[in-house]
Amino acid sequence: NKVVMSGIQPTGVPHLGNYFGFVENWLRLQKTEPADTQLFLCVVDWHAITTGPLPAVELRDNVRKMVAGLVAAGVDCKRTVLFRQSAVPEHAELTWLLGCLETTARLQRMPQYKDKSLQYKKGDVPVGLLTYPILQAADVLIYRGTHVPVGDDQTQHMHIVTDLADHFNKQYKCEFFPKPLKMASALARVKSLRDPTKKMSKSDPDARSRIELSDTVQTVREKCKKALTDTESVVTFEMDRRPAVGNLVLLYAAVAGLSPDQVVKEMSSVTTGEFKLRLAECISQRFEPIRQRYEELLASPDTINAILEDGAAKARPIAKSNMDEIKRIAGFS
Ligand code: TYM
């Protein structure tokens, strides 16, 4: 049986990187997967504290915003089991076991770890930052996930997930975990609007680098106007020579459902300045209805709580039953 599993950090409302790298793909799966495919979508709140604890109010708020954003974008809680990670204790329980099958050397080589640990002095790096990928592996494996839709930035983490599944099976001479496959979306890498060498990310201190689903028409327009271009004023698609303009073309293509060549053709008579305004319009046209639903949902905490409780009630028995089996296999019961 196919089990689709993915996670998203509660970093507040989703941005267009999350949307085109992941959410859009999820919405497609909701429509196209047969009824016996299980769909688990987890808001990974334990992962949110791996670079240090957040104030409780902020963490709770960020989870609420993420759930409201996902549901507003089209995640259907009747089809998708949408829940928060900490509500299912087996994620953390399996993390311990998997952590004992992994080496610190391998984890220290992870690009995201290398990157994020730079902000600390040697010896001050939180242990959770190092073991982050193990928790991610547990998220997938606790449901015996077979397919994991994620953006390109998760490729390295996914290697750890598949290797751990394999490692467990070999260690305990069983076939308990299937090998989870990474599923990429059409636009697996959305770049920062301010720097085409960086991905669009919540952790970028410059808010103009990303567009969030909660941005109003006005904000979208301002951010698009400020988007980086170059000294040439025609719109072309040349990723090597003109990466900044190329990224905007890719983004426009994703939003409008066109190919980059079609975008260039459509924009053949406008300057890059005008193109940025058209991009803003196109984004608002598609995302303004989502923003309005988002605001409505956010104003209704009871709805969000009910969604999360319902999701956890569906996920937990499955996680518990798999954890029982894992413990039996490994000699803990
Ligand atoms: P996170 O929360 O950073 O991002 C959630 C999803 O959005 C994708 N994404 C992007 N895709 C394209 N371009 C971008 N600029 C961009 N930014 C984000 C991510 O690839 C991801 O699919 N470690 C994961 C969360 C996680 C997880 C899991 C994923 C925890 N457990 C289990 C899958 C399975 C993360 O930090 O994603």
- Select from 231, 224, 222, 280 the least CA-distant residue to 256: 280
- pLDDT of 23-65, one tens digit each? 999 999 999 999 999 999 999 999 999 988 999 999 999 999 9
Distance 23 CA to ligand 1 centre (A): 10
- Output the pLDDT for position 183: 96
Distance 296 CA to ligand 1 centre (A): 25
Distance 298 CA to ligand 1 centre (A): 22
Residue 192 lies in a domain: no
Verify that 224 and 158 share a domain, yes or no: no
Active site residue 31: no
Verify that 162 and 232 share a domain, yes or no: no
Residue 201 lies in a domain: no
Rounded Cα distance, 21 and 3, in Å: 20
Residue linked to tokens 């029982």: 324
Atom of ligand 1 nearest to the CA of 139: 32
- Output the pLDDT for position 52: 87
- Output the pLDDT for position 187: 84
Atom of ligand 1 nearest to the CA of 152: 20
Active site residue 182: no
Q: Which of 65, 202, 223, 276 is catalytic?
A: 202
CB 294 within 8 A of CB 117: no
Return the residue whose CA atom lies nearest to atom 28 of ligand 1: 7
Distance 18 CA to ligand 1 centre (A): 7
Verify that 140 and 61 share a domain, yes or no: yes
Residue 139 lies in a domain: yes
Assign residue 82 a region (left: φ > 0; alpha: ψ between -120 and 50; beta: otherwise).
Answer: beta
Verify that 217 and 235 share a domain, yes or no: yes
Verify that 96 and 154 share a domain, yes or no: yes
Atom of ligand 1 nearest to the CA of 153: 20
The confidence band for 295, taking pLDDT boundaries of 50, 70 and 90, is very high
Q: Which of 116, 191, 223, 276 is catalytic?
A: 116
Verify that 314 and 264 share a domain, yes or no: no
CB 55 within 8 A of CB 22: no
Verify that 152 and 95 share a domain, yes or no: yes
Return the residue whose CA atom lies nearest to atom 29 of ligand 1: 7
Residue 297 CA to chain centroid, in angstroms? 20
Residue linked to tokens 């963490």: 59
Our answer on whether the CB atom of 158 is closer than 6 Å to any ligand 1 atom is: no
Return the residue whose CA atom lies nearest to atom 7 of ligand 1: 18
CB 106 within 8 A of CB 161: no
- Output the pLDDT for position 234: 97
CB 33 within 8 A of CB 39: yes
Our answer on whether the CB atom of 38 is closer than 6 Å to any ligand 1 atom is: no
Active site residue 173: no
Give the CATH number, domain containing residue 242.
Answer: 1.10.240.10
Helix, strand, or coil (residue 155): helix
272-291 burial string, b = 16+ CB within 10 Å, else e?
A: beebbebbbebbbeebeebb
Distance 143 CA to ligand 1 centre (A): 18
Residue 59 lies in a domain: yes
Residue 194 lies in a domain: no
- Output the pLDDT for position 215: 98
- Output the pLDDT for position 270: 97
- Output the pLDDT for position 260: 97
Residue 119 lies in a domain: yes
The helix or strand, by DSSP H or E, that contains position 84, with its residue range, turns out to be: strand 81-84
Average pLDDT over residues 149-176: 97
Verify that 171 and 211 share a domain, yes or no: no
Residue 193 lies in a domain: no
Q: What residue numbers bound the domain in which 14 lies?
A: 3-183+301-330
Residue 240 lies in a domain: yes
Verify that 31 and 125 share a domain, yes or no: yes
Give the CATH number, domain containing residue 122.
Answer: 3.40.50.620
Our answer on whether the CB atom of 10 is closer than 6 Å to any ligand 1 atom is: no
Q: How many domains does the chain fold into?
A: 2
Average pLDDT, the chain: 97
- Output the pLDDT for position 186: 84
Verify that 148 and 234 share a domain, yes or no: no
Verify that 170 and 213 share a domain, yes or no: no
Average pLDDT over residues 225-242: 97
Verify that 179 and 315 share a domain, yes or no: yes
- Output the pLDDT for position 333: 85
